[in-house]
Amino acid sequence: MGRGDGSGRRVSPDGADDTGAGILHVDMDAFYAAVEVLDDPSLRGKPVVVGGVEGRGVVSSATYEARRFGVRSVMPMAHALRLCPAAVVVPPHFPRYLEVSGQVMDLFHEITPLVEPLSIDEAFLDVRGARRLWGSPGTVARMLRARVLAQTGLTCSVGAAATKHVAKIASTMSKPDGLLIVAEADTEDFLAPLSVRTLWGVGPKSADALESRGIRTVQDIRDTPRPLLERTLGAAMGDRIWHLARGLDAREVETDRLEKSVGHEETFQTDIADDQILRVELRRLADRVGARLRQADWEAATVSIKVRFADFTTVTRAQTLPEPTAVGQRIGAAALELFDQLERPQPIRLIGVRTEKLRPSGAAGIALWDDDAEWRQVEGALDDAAARLGAGAGTRAALPGARRDVGGVPHHPPVRRRND
């Protein structure tokens, strides 16, 4: 299996058999960091780390030069700099990443209408129906990689296989800047020697449970009686990995897929116990989440908060809204209500707001009256100001002062929805 630093990379030779490998998984390489290098060529070849610069900042992305020192996403920045003292730290520029993501997704749609965005920098493509127009899956994958590089200046890695699950594994193995093709007939042989940890849905606890019983590879899963898998992992998970180990994955590419959630969380430079400061930060987070929902033309039916205390104890709380919304004021009110109900025995080091159960805006039709009409106007004006003058051009009077976060990173940044 390829590693995060590119060691162990596997790629297919020209002319590799691509029979039946009509599902592509395309993953941009070190996307945030790559965009920063694209915009500042003086960074090329250097160990670049994107993320919060001070205190408890975390790594959002890192170039492969930095990854070779052990730097990884979500790692505390202080630890990353101990591993790689020569790293160049760059703050994130999310509006720019969304802009480039839109260009990349447009390129995917030029190849096939069957595109399922997974996040800001990866997608599944079904090219089984594109043979007459573009050629075989391997030909399409090579053409796509060349177009992405020529038109954006960025590299991507592609896995081609008969199923989404195997295509995703293949793209990970081919990183960075590679293509790995798994012909349909080769699927079981490809999977057999891989660790159980490569299978979709097998997290650390499930992997530990399997490995404690001597089940370490995909071939071991195939050799294990199905009832034992189900007793070890539960009926649903046992059934899933029984199928995945055999290359069976019935999931199709979903062109209307929406992200499950949109959220943002912040890690503070110092633990905070002041309720007023925390309430202001919740409002700020809610406004940012609302802006991103509106940008993607989504509404959310559920709001949740995440709170991590000084001793790293983490709690979450959620509530369903009376009506789905993308209004920051409404999201903030729900977040504050959840926060006020929470016992807070210690100062807080991290706080987050997340929205879930997303759907396209206006899916429920137009109401006879709109209790949030005034707030929609206010937030619409802020959106316009941000579009014309840049993020942060306007904010609420109730949110004075500099942001206190050092590692504010969006969760599931929205992928632009297409109108065609």
Q: In what order do the strands lie in the sheet with 59-62?
A: 59-62, 48-51, 88-90
Q: What is the DSSP letter of 319?
A: E
State both tokens at 123.
């997608």
Identify the three-state secondary structure at position 52.
Answer: coil
Tell me which residues are annotated as active site: 122
CA distance 420 to 414: 18
Tell me the residue length of the chain.
Answer: 420
Helix runs in 12-163, H state only: 31-39, 64-67, 77-83, 94-111, 131-134, 137-152
Concatenating the DSSP letter of every residue in 129-145 gives T-HHHH-SHHHHHHHHH
Q: Which helix (H) or strand (E) holds 59?
A: strand 59-62
Q: Report yes or no: 376 and 327 within 8 Å, Cβ to Cβ.
A: yes
Concatenating the DSSP letter of every residue in 168-220 gives HHHHHHT-SS-EEE--GGGHHHHHTTSBGGGSTT--HHHHHHHHTTT--BHHH
Count of alpha carbons within 13 Å of 107, Cβ hemisphere only? 26
CA distance 70 to 91: 20
Q: Which residues contact 259 (CB under 8 A, 6 or more apart)?
A: 119, 358, 412, 414, 415
